[in-house]
A and B are shown apart, each in its own frame.
Chain A
Amino acid sequence: MQRRVTFDNRLLPYLLLAPQVAVTLVFFIWPAAQAVWQSVHLQDAFGIRSEFVWFENFEHVLTDPNYLDTLKVTVVFSVAVTVLSMGTALLLAVLADSKIKGARAYKTLLIWPYALAPAVAAVLWMFIFNPDIGSFGLALKSLGYDWDYRLNGGQALWMVIMAASWKQVAYNFIFFLAGLQAIPRSVMEAAAIDGAGPVRRFWTITFPLLSPTTFFLLVVDMVYAFFETFGTIHALTQGGPGKATETLIFRVYHDGVVNNDLGGSSAQSVILMVIVIALTAVQFRFIERKVHYA
């Protein structure tokens, strides 16, 4: 007797899959195909004249020395945001997981920033750091420190990294805390009885058991740093001064929407797509080996 579940209706599986397929086609495949189509065309702003130019747009982008600078900025920015937001979140989660008074209020406060829109968060940071009206900016200046992120590229980059990380800490915190709470107390207690100190307990038990969470957050944070920090940068520095805070995604927006260069902008988004696919593949191929799924 066969006990396998089978569908009598040959159509049903397709029907059940159809919504997902439709959503993927409409919201992912179609725009991606449009981007690829645009990237090999040269078009005026109004779309009246269009010319097929092969890979010229890619050539322009890749031979532009400024594009390489932007790539460097993006790497520095993404790595800094990922490391900073994950490190801070892990530290805070470990602290919040220990038994302290008012832990619940403390946790709630830490989750709050995630509910803020990136642009709103950026405006808050601007009110803190603006050299003319910001409280922290004015304080720095009164201490004699030459604080002006409108002219100092290093300061500007540091500021957008802080603002972007601050927003992501809350998200990472939730996952780390959940991961920590899933670790059985008995294991930790046994280790403590065996004489392992807190640091050793963390690195030999807690951290390995957290590795699935850490890996998941690594991928999510990287995608966040690449794609979702646009609002923060736009509101704070607009990519300036010079091009000190211009990331790849910001440049895609700027060339496409502000400069009306649809071909160049599409070529950049295709490149960006390839970069992120490659990075994600690398993460799953190599870093995932170190992940221990309990």
Chain B
Amino acid sequence: MLTRRKLALLTGAATTTALLLAALPGSALAQGKTVIDFWHGLPQPLGGQLEQVVKEFNDSQQAVQVNASYKGAYPETMQAAIAAFRAGNAPHVVQMFEVGTATMMAAGPAIKPVYQLMQETGAAFDANAYIPAVKGYYSSKDGKMMALPFNSSSTIMFYNKDAFQKAGLDPNKPPATWPEMIEATKKLKASGSTCPMTTSWPVWAQFEQLGAIHNTPFASQANGFGGLNAELKIDAPLYVKHVQTLIDMQKEGLFKYGGRDNKPDALFPSGECAMIHGSSGLRSRILKEATFAWGAAPLPYWPDFAKDGPKNSIIGGAAFWVMTSPKRTPAEYKAVSQFFSYLAKPEVDSKWHMDTGYVPVTMKGFELTKAQGYYEKNPGADVPAAQLTRTPTTENSMGLRLGNLPEIRNIIQEELEKAFQGQQDAKQALDSAVKRGNAVLRNFERANKG
């Protein structure tokens, strides 16, 4: 009796399993397509535009089906990918923000470097087609491309031409240096502006970019490219002077601290702040919301610290990483490489740039956009790409390769906030940030060595 019931149960279970096994990959096999999971971290409307790019790829050929899904903001997408990897179920491709680069590179067996993927699958791919500042950020120490750059941006300055006019400033001559900046904010304040200047991404814009354009290290070991034993260098005179200037400007009502990360973005299109240092990706929002005349300009610099002029800026945004999984087949990697080759096409790059405000990541994409006359019709849209390519990259303007950089950014923001509240001066804030940041770096070094 019992045995018969057991038998029936077993048969039932076996049938169900067989049916499930047949049904699961069946849908994909029926069409003969290799299915690729792609996780991204772009919210709407950018996420929809990215999914449109994926759809265009899917429609362009018969062999591969890329399934794009939104996994929350960048940090959440990173967590989801890490958790999935630990469970043996990583997606084929994941979009990872630029500050997660060192974490991904240190992940070793969890990722498949792009150069290796392209070699193994024999796909046509030219890493040198990428803009040097973009390529450098995602390359290993010996110049091999680890991830596929896609949506890159840079920090630039947006300014309100109407407010400039009102303050008696030349609307076609935005301040190019910090002394000019301070002069301009004073005039803006005198003309009644409650917020002459603010900054989005305080650490990215006022530390990482500052170091790059002044050819001053953010950290030792070539900003971490040289090894995991890098230490923060943001207590150098350039940073102290810069932060103290911001603190003083804030006290005088010339600068407004608008919050962490991209929280201050809203202050510019609403007309409250006359100038903002922010991501070039802010452009599309300003286009939509601003009711005044505005312009875009490169970031200002300190002439005393950049005797031979400012260097190229660095990028932000995200890149696509290929992840490994115990069950992955060569056919799947091949499919990923086809997807990547498609994304690297100049037409795709250029269209994405024009649609979203991210910078073109390849030289050909930039030239194609130029050739189409886009920049004549949209003055200022070429500022980020021009700023990224204005000089050859140096050791200090290649990008950052620091472990747990998101945490370090938060530490710096916390110390800045304490300084803006009047609890400490620039030197104290930066010393404390260096001390706390180095502890984070040592922890990362230890957890990731060997």
Residues of chain A whose beta carbon lies under 8 Å from any beta carbon of chain B: 42-49, 51, 60, 66, 132-133, 150-153, 238, 240-243, 254, 257-261, 264
Contact = CB atoms under 8 A, between A and B. Distances in A.
B267 A240 contact: no
A211 to B, nearest CB: 43
B447 interface: yes
Contact of B406 (A48, A60, A258): A258
Interface stretch (B310-318, B353-361, B418-426): B418-426
B342 interface: no
Given A242-B418, A258-B406, A260-B103, A42 B85 contact: no
A42 B447 contact: yes
Interface string B428-446: 0000000010011001001
A203 to B, nearest CB: 43
A213 to B, nearest CB: 40
A128 B446 CA distance: 45
Interface in B324-374: none
Contact of A241 (B107, B417, B450): B417
Closest 5 CB pairs of A and B: A241-B417, A259-B407, A242-B418, A44-B447, A46-B110
A44 B448 contact: yes
Given A49-B447, A150-B259, A151-B420, A242 B414 contact: yes
A240 B414 contact: yes
25 contacts: A42-B447, A44-B106, A46-B86, A48-B108, A60-B439, A132-B270, A133-B266, A150-B258, A151-B257, A151-B421, A152-B421, A238-B260, A240-B260, A240-B413, A240-B414, A241-B420, A241-B421, A242-B418, A243-B414, A257-B75, A257-B79, A259-B404, A259-B407, A261-B404, A261-B443
Interface string B27-46: 00000000000000000000
A238 B262 CA distance: 13
A261 B404 CA distance: 9
Given A44-B447, A46-B107, A153 B421 contact: yes
Nearest to A152: B421
A60 B439 CA distance: 10
Interface string B371-394: 000000000000000000000000
A71 to B, nearest CB: 17
B421 A43 contact: no
A48 B109 contact: yes
B106 A242 contact: no
A242 B448 CA distance: 29
Interface of B: 75, 79, 82, 85-86, 103, 106-110, 257-260, 263, 266-267, 270, 272, 404, 406-407, 410, 413-415, 417-418, 420-421, 423, 436, 439-440, 443, 446-448, 450
A66 B82 CA distance: 28
B200 to A, nearest CB: 13
Nearest to B440: A259
B407 A258 contact: yes
B260 A45 contact: no
Given A241-B414, A242-B423, A260-B103, 11 more contacts: A45-B103, A45-B107, A47-B85, A49-B450, A66-B436, A132-B267, A150-B257, A240-B414, A242-B414, A260-B404, A264-B443
B82 A45 contact: yes
Contact of B110 (A48, A66, A261): A48
A72 to B, nearest CB: 15
A23 to B, nearest CB: 23
Contacts of A151: 257, 417, 420-421
Contacts of B272: 132
A132 B271 CA distance: 12
Contacts of A51: 446-447
A240 B411 CA distance: 11
A264 B442 CA distance: 13
Contacts of B267: 132
B449 to A, nearest CB: 8
Contacts of A259: 404, 406-407, 410, 440
A42 B447 CA distance: 6
A130 to B, nearest CB: 10
Q: Which of B85, B86, B272, B421 has the most CB of A within 10 A?
A: B421
Contacts of B439: 60
A260 to B, nearest CB: 6
A134 to B, nearest CB: 13
Contact of B448 (A49, A238, A243, A257): A49
Nearest to A258: B75
Nearest to A254: B410
A219 to B, nearest CB: 33
Most chain B CB neighbours (cut-off 10 Å) among A51, A133, A150, A261: A150
Contacts of B446: 42, 51
A254 B75 CA distance: 11
Contact of A47 (B86, B258, B415, B423): B86
A51 B448 CA distance: 10
Nearest to B194: A141
A45 B403 CA distance: 11
A42 B266 CA distance: 40
Contacts of A240: 260, 413-414, 417
B406 A43 contact: no
A152 B421 CA distance: 7
Most buried by A among B270, B404, B440, B450: B404
B266 to A, nearest CB: 7
Contacts of A258: 75, 406-407, 410
A132 B266 contact: yes
Nearest to A41: B447
B108 A260 contact: no
A18 B119 CA distance: 56
A48 B107 CA distance: 8
Nearest to A50: B447
A232 to B, nearest CB: 18
Nearest to B85: A46
A260 B82 contact: yes
B92 to A, nearest CB: 16
A264 B108 CA distance: 22
Contacts of B257: 150-151
A238 B85 CA distance: 27
Contacts of B404: 259-261
Contacts of B263: 150
